[in-house]
A and B are shown apart, each in its own frame.
Chain A
Amino acid sequence: MASAAHPPHDFDEQTAAFIHREIYQLGVLVIVAIAAFVLTQAVAASNRDMSLRDAAEWYRRGESAIATGDLDAAVDAFRRASGRNRNNKPYQLALARALVRKHDNDGAQSVLLALRDSTPEDPDVNLELARVAAESHDVTGALRFYHNALYAPWPSEQADARRQVRFELVTFLLTHKQSPRAISELLAASTDLPDDVGVRLQTARLFAQAGDAGHALDQFQQALRLAPENPEALGGAGLSAFALGNYGLARTYLHQVAEASEDLATTREVADAVLSNDPLANRLGSTERRRRLTANFVFAQNRLASCLEEPGSLPTSDALTLLSEAQTFEPRLMPSVLEQDVVEMGADLVDRIERLVLQRCGTPTTLDRALVLIGRQHGGETR
């Protein structure tokens, strides 16, 4: 009946009490939640620190294992390090490298692809992926990842590292006999090379390996501009000039090399022989021109004849034809002054004989090689 006597008053009191209790309880809950959040955050932070310490320790153990050659232990340690600190790129890269050393290219690729998901434009990750693909003979994949690495945003202070990636790509292309692509990459690299002898020499070497003697010579000459007595640059420039058929320049460079290797010495001799035996060289007197042609002719004729006489060396129709042709041509060398067309015919005949000699008559002499080069220089092969 109390409620009947004072209904509005009682209702207000009850409602107020009810609301008061609710607010009080919700307040307590919020305070508990905040306290729990702070506590959990602190514990989680401590746990994270512990994980990071563990990861660092595992990484250190992995490196020790690598040093001792225990690749299984290294992979295990790097895996643990990566698992405890997933965002640490060096740990993942170390794991990938250890896997590659274990010849587990699939595993390495898997690790790197996972890493690449979070950092798709990271040059290091792409470079490692390229190396893994290269190791697996996946040319397409390697090219893709090398290019990803090259065109990734490199910090300006890492221009050298980026250049080395391009050189690595060139080496990879050369290994897979893709010289045109390699030359393209080298041309791109050579646009902003620093004035550094080592870099110039490296570029020149790669051009030379790719068969681009012109650009190789250019880079060797750039190196010589920086270090005029650099023996490698001199030798490389000599060889490049030789490959270009510029025997005079080749001889100039090759003679400056103080301690020539056997290869350089041989090339130098051949270059000398080319220059001193070329009957079609410019600015020669008629006597000298005749002397050179006659000497070359006699040498080639004798080489062919002696070759045909060697046991087991059956005379072929080509050889016999050439020998007969030489015997027919011999009287035309008698005049003291030779007509230009006789000189050219003689040089052509010598060239054809020498090319046959190179094919059939064992190790060529320096003069054999020189005569073939003389013929090539004057278009003998195309005639």
Chain B
Amino acid sequence: MNVPTSVRAQQLRLRENQLFLILTIVIGILAGLSAVLFTVAIEQTSHRLFGLAPSRLRLFAIPPLMSIVTGLLLAKVFPDVRGSGVPQTEAAYHLSGGVIPWRVPFGKFLTGVLCIGSGHSMGREGPSVQIGAGLASVVGRWLRLSPQRVQDLVPVGAAGALAAAFNTPVAAVLFALEEIIGNMNATLIGSTVVASVAAVIVERSILGNEPLFHVPTYRLVHPAELLAYAALGIVGGAVSVLFSKALLWLRSVFFRLPARTKAFQPAIGGLVIGAVLVYSPAIMGVGYEYVDQALNGGLLLKTMVILCFLKLGATIVSYASGNAGGIFAPSLYIGAMAGGAVGMAVHRLAPFPTGDIGAYALVGMGTLFAGIIRAPMTSVFMIFEITQDYQILVPLMVANMLSFVISRHYQPVPVYHALLRQDGVHLPSAATSTRGSVRTADQVMSTEMWFLPPDMSVAQAWRAAQEREDPAYLVGTRDRLLGTLTREQLEDLQATGRASDAVSLVVGDAFVHAHPDHPIDVVLDRLSESGGVLPVVSRIHARRVDGVITHDSLLNRRTARPS
């Protein structure tokens, strides 16, 4: 009886492998088509809304009016499709087993077209990634693939969509590995390559072989120019930090507004964008037309500086106010302007001969991408694919490395992850990701927990603590952890006359915690920082407590481990 069952299982596995290979091609095609359609739909919408040379009234009125519509859609119908789409795709891949509901790609397409087409300063690549990944997930589930296969299809769809949206197949594969999967050694490299190639073939068969940008021929005129590129890297790093910090800050400001305003927050952003568009329509939408001009030396120094900061501000406002659109293209735009400005300054001031200003703009694009998106390999290969010029690699790597290092120093959490954290989603980093190789926090935590209720006074808490002898205590409830208090903290509060205060008022907002998939070494490090009680919280809802780890629970669990 076992023989046919085993044969059938083998057949099924074989068929699933074959099906997966065919699927990667089909998904690459579908993702590519979705990206092309998304691009075209944005252009059509923009053209219909603004026409050839829009009046000031149109420029001012269309973004807020359209944002009222999209705001309602984003708040009431498609709550999961605000912003870029890349962080949501990462979260879906890492935390939801690759499950993306069908309304996500559909809603992203609709709201993305309306937001970007109505002039919001946002990019189309991030939404394309989410749409492609969403389609892949929907198709995988429809075909009743195994959960692991459904999860694997997410980066495949993302790579296909990005390859078609940006016309850079290699960079798209690297982006899927580096950013979505977070592992350059991923076994999915073959599938992402297949999907990426399929998507690019589809894209080129429809839109032609035209490159996204016309770029100048690159030349390193003088070895000392590398210093200029290093300076560009420093500028790029600084601008990246400014962008990330300002975006996160403004987003937190919008988050603090009353919940009932959520549907109208995008319109606030639209109002600001309308005002900026009246002053400078050049920051409208994706803005690759102006990137092309910067690459070909078509803009003045003053213009590039102004556009750099206007685009930076406009993108922050558009994104933070909750519109649907990405930061991939804006980072390239800002980088091109910053790079062009630095190039022009170097051209005027440097005592040595310098290369084309467009080359600086090009390296600037990679620099900002490396600084903001924090995908340095993608950045290098993306620019390399755009230029198809080997000589640009060294200056590009110099500038990218500096920008990346500066950005990581001043903004340790990459912007996509920081955005997810603001949404209460904690992604695993490469350092903490385990994939079953070692014991993890969920294997050593105790699910028996005791909380100090939020309204309990410090004096009551202290009395309760006297009875329990624990080194620290969780404050809040299982579904909403407010923080932790140590015995010493309770004692100090009691002594300083705050005995009558509620513990919810005295507990600090930040607390050391672990996630269920953290490996044991991370758990040990954090336990030593925690004061003796380490809450284990969900990655999707960072205030929900799944368990707790103490020295005792750790010892008990490890002792109980079968030999």
Contact = CB atoms under 8 A, between A and B. Distances in A.
B297 A39 contact: no
- Could you tell me the dominant secondary structure of chain B's interface residues? helix
Interface in B195-211: 202, 206-207, 210
Contact of A44 (B40, B52, B297): B40
Contact of A110 (B22, B29, B41, B358): B358
Interface string B339-379: 00000000000000000101000000000000000000000
Interface stretch (A4-12, A256-264, A275-283, A289-297): A4-12
A114 B36 CA distance: 25
Interface string B209-228: 01000111100000000000
Given A36-B33, A37-B33, A107 B297 contact: yes
B8 A15 contact: yes
Interface stretch (B67-75, B119-127, B288-296, B316-324): B288-296
Interface stretch (B11-19, B149-157, B266-274): B11-19
What is the predominant secondary structure among interface residues of chain A facing chain B? helix
B388 to A, nearest CB: 11
Given A8-B4, A33-B30, A79 B40 contact: no
A113 interface: yes
Contacts of A50: 43-44, 47
A79 B36 contact: no
B313 interface: no
Nearest to A115: B214
A113 B217 contact: yes
B40 A40 contact: yes
Contact of A86 (B19, B210, B216): B210
B212 to A, nearest CB: 11
Interface stretch (A22-30, A128-136, A224-232, A309-317): A22-30
A342 interface: no
Residue from B43, B52, B214, B292 having most chain A Cβ neighbours under 10 A: B214
Interface string A72-85: 00000001100100
B142 interface: yes
A36 B1 contact: no
A11 B358 CA distance: 66
Contacts of B26: 26, 29-30, 33
Contacts of A220: none
Contacts of B206: 37, 40-41, 44
Contacts of A36: 30, 33-34, 37
B394 interface: no
B531 interface: no
A37 B8 CA distance: 36
Given A44-B206, A114-B216, A57 B52 contact: yes
A339 interface: no
Nearest to A77: B53
Interface residues of B, number: 40
A79 B295 CA distance: 13
A3 interface: yes
A117 interface: yes
B40 A110 contact: no
A126 B210 CA distance: 22
B1 A7 contact: yes
A1 to B, nearest CB: 11
A322 B90 CA distance: 103
Contacts of B210: 86-87
Listed residue (B34, B41, B142, B293) with the most chain A CB atoms within 10 angstroms of its CB:
B293
B8 A14 contact: yes
Given A33-B26, A83-B289, A111-B296, A117 B40 contact: no
B33 A4 contact: no
Given A22-B15, A44-B40, A3 B1 contact: yes
Contacts of B44: 43, 46-47, 50
Given A40-B36, A54-B47, A114-B214, A106 B297 contact: yes
B298 interface: yes
16 contacts: A4-B1, A14-B8, A22-B15, A32-B30, A33-B29, A33-B30, A40-B206, A41-B206, A44-B206, A47-B44, A54-B47, A58-B52, A79-B293, A106-B297, A107-B297, A114-B216
Given A15-B11, A26-B19, A44-B36, 11 more contacts: A7-B1, A22-B15, A37-B202, A40-B33, A40-B206, A50-B44, A83-B292, A86-B210, A114-B214, A114-B296, A117-B214
Closest 9 CB pairs of A and B: A110-B297, A114-B214, A47-B40, A36-B33, A110-B296, A83-B289, A40-B37, A11-B4, A44-B206
Interface of B: 1, 4, 8, 11-12, 15, 19, 22, 26, 29-30, 33-34, 36-37, 40-41, 43-44, 47, 52, 139, 142-143, 202, 206-207, 210, 214-217, 289, 292-293, 296-298, 356, 358
